[in-house]
Amino acid sequence: MPKQLGFLIDLNKCIGCHSCEFACKNENRLEEISFRRVLDLKQRGNVFAYLSLACNHCANPQCIRVCPEKCFRKLRNGIVLYDYVRCDGCQRCIGACPFKVPKYDPFTKKVNKCNLCYKRIRQGLKPACVSACIPEALQIINFNEPLPANCKKTIPSFAFIPLTNPSVRFLLPKETICFWLEDKEE
């Protein structure tokens, strides 16, 4: 059975340091856009977890279906590759992606997106974002192998969309514990 590579995001471990974002921008030499972004997940107005997202390398990517220039292709390992040279900047892929992952670069007037650091994976390395993740909150997993029993397809702020079947799963945050320092009366 072929691989379907994707991300496992452990919301217990992500500390919102943005190392994954910086590593992605550096690896891909990005100036105006960012493929990966870290979101604050809030509950009752307070941040309770951080969520690092990039392209989901969907099992059924809609970007492939709508691109008139055939810029996208899906590899046997599940990675959705993008051919920057063929892009005419029409942005149809942005409209078709329910996660709005492809980004329009106003400087180049073309669209671009995460390629899961395909060259690094071919060399046996992890994607730059995964390697840079200090608390190891990001992992690459094969969705055609048994997944951890406690991983989920959806969380608040990320809807699982069966049409695309995104290749991302989450380990949910444990209940937070708050400690309060009491004022001592003197």
Domains and CATH numbers, the chain: 5-171 (3.30.70.20)
Question: What is the full DSSP assignment across 10-66?
Answer: ETTT-----HHHHHHHHHTT-SS--S-EEEEEEETTEEEEEEEE-----SS-HHHHH
Alpha-carbon span 142 to 136, nearest angstrom: 17
pLDDT score of 145: 92
pLDDT score of 91: 97
Neighbours of 176 (CB within 10 A): 10
pLDDT score of 3: 86
Residues 6+ away with beta carbon under 8 Å from 115: 55, 79, 80, 81, 82
pLDDT score of 182: 61
Give this prediction's pTM.
Answer: 0.85
**Tokens standing for residue 49:** 């977890």
Alpha-carbon span 123 to 105, nearest angstrom: 28
C-alpha 21 chain-centroid distance = 10
Residues 6+ away with beta carbon under 8 Å from 123: none
pLDDT score of 184: 59
Q: What is the pLDDT along the chain (186 residues), one digit of tens a residue?
A: 678 999 999 999 999 999 999 999 999 998 878 899 998 887 777 777 888 999 999 999 999 999 999 999 999 999 999 998 999 999 999 999 999 899 999 989 999 999 999 999 999 999 999 999 999 999 999 999 998 888 998 887 787 888 899 999 999 877 655 555 566 565
Alpha-carbon span 162 to 60, nearest angstrom: 9
Q: Helix (H, G, I), strand (E, B), or coil: what is residue 182?
A: coil
Of 59, 70, 24, nearest in space to 142 by CA:
59
pLDDT score of 185: 62
Q: What are phi and psi of 67, to 5 degrees?
A: -75, 115
Length of the chain: 186
pLDDT score of 32: 77
Q: Helix (H, G, I), strand (E, B), or coil: what is residue 130?
A: helix
